[in-house]
Chain A
Amino acid sequence: MKAAVVVFPGSNCDRDCAVGIERSTGAAVDMIWHQETTLPEGLDLIVLPGGFSYGDYLRCGAMAAQSPVMREVVKAANDGVAVIGICNGFQILCEAHLLPGTLLRNSALKYICKSVDLDVINANTRFTAGFGGQSTARMTVGNGEGNFFADEQTLARLEGEGQVAFRYRQNPNGSAHGIAGIVNARGNVLGMMPHPDRAFEPELGSTDGATLFRSVMGCA
């Protein structure tokens, strides 16, 4: 099993992601600098980590989405490789048009850092299958711009096609339909604001992130 974590200038959860995946799944994790124009062969998972890539200049994730490595990430995603974007990674996936919608400033204009309870809305994705009968998950959010927005037509499609993976039990930031995480139509790209990379050991208050990583790596 092999995973890669992309490192952008300003990423700050890259190591959390690598350690979380290694400890949860035993997979080898490569760190990939954003200027790379190739990805390692045989990847099972690519993670875009949280942080403040390019200092959130222009719009969160906008500059990172234009990085050389993102052309390869888009290609890999189109080939069916699993991709997870967490927090800033979710913003990058939206800016790269791998996921619909975008993330707006939180409705109360505040940076929100706290534990959130999530409903697992679709447990049939490769990211959530490992939750089995577990219908809720607990992780933390830490963001100022996590307010998911999409037009009504897109929201209806996301709901109707089972593309809503996680929903906040108590909406912290004004996200449309309380959406915390979505998958693409093909089901191999997941974007989520809560951090599985901060929830992979009991000492961290939750192991639900480990469940997610094990699920996508097929070792649930």
Chain B
Amino acid sequence: MKTKVHVYLKPGVLDVQGKAIEGALHDLGWGDVANVRVGKTIEFEVAGADRVKAEAEAKAMADKLLANTVIESYRVEIV
């Protein structure tokens, strides 16, 4: 089963990469672009077909390693 964990900086944390990209998009003519945030997606396969278990495991992985919950939030997606 394919699992995706999407990790983003929390809303209150300044995303300097997002700001830089936003500035570049404005320079390219997309002046109405706002609130650009840069995140990452970590995807992997797990054995079995139990979606609930897979989601719980992925959340444990995110809390332990994949995200730093001081500054990041995450969303688990079972594909």
10 A-B residue pairs with CB within 8 Å: A58-B65, A94-B70, A95-B68, A102-B70, A102-B71, A105-B17, A108-B16, A109-B16, A109-B17, A149-B70
A107 touches which of B16, B68, B70, B71 (Cβ 8 Å)? B16
> Does A150 have its Cβ within 8 Å of any Cβ on chain B?
yes
CB distance from A87 to the nearest CB of B (A): 17
A149 and B20 contact, CB distance less than 8 A: no
Per-residue CB contact flags for chain B residues 41-79 toward chain A (1 = under 8 Å, else 0) read 000000000000000000000000110101100000000
> Does A98 have its Cβ within 8 Å of any Cβ on chain B?
no
Binding site for A on B (CB under 8 A): 13-14, 16-17, 20, 65-66, 68, 70-71
> Does A71 have its Cβ within 8 Å of any Cβ on chain B?
no
Binding site for B on A (CB under 8 A): 58-59, 62, 66, 94-95, 100-102, 104-109, 149-151, 174
A104 touches which of B20, B65, B66, B71 (Cβ 8 Å)? B71
**Closest chain B residue to A152, Cβ basis:** B12
B13 and A149 contact, CB distance less than 8 A: yes
Which chain A residues lie closer than 8 Å to B68 at the CB level?
Answer: 59, 62, 95, 102
Docked CA distance A100–B13 (Å): 16
B14 and A104 contact, CB distance less than 8 A: yes
A150 touches which of B16, B17, B66, B70 (Cβ 8 Å)? B70
CB distance from B16 to the nearest CB of A (A): 5
Docked CA distance A190–B29 (Å): 47
Docked CA distance A174–B14 (Å): 10
Most buried by A among B13, B14, B68: B68
B70 and A58 contact, CB distance less than 8 A: no
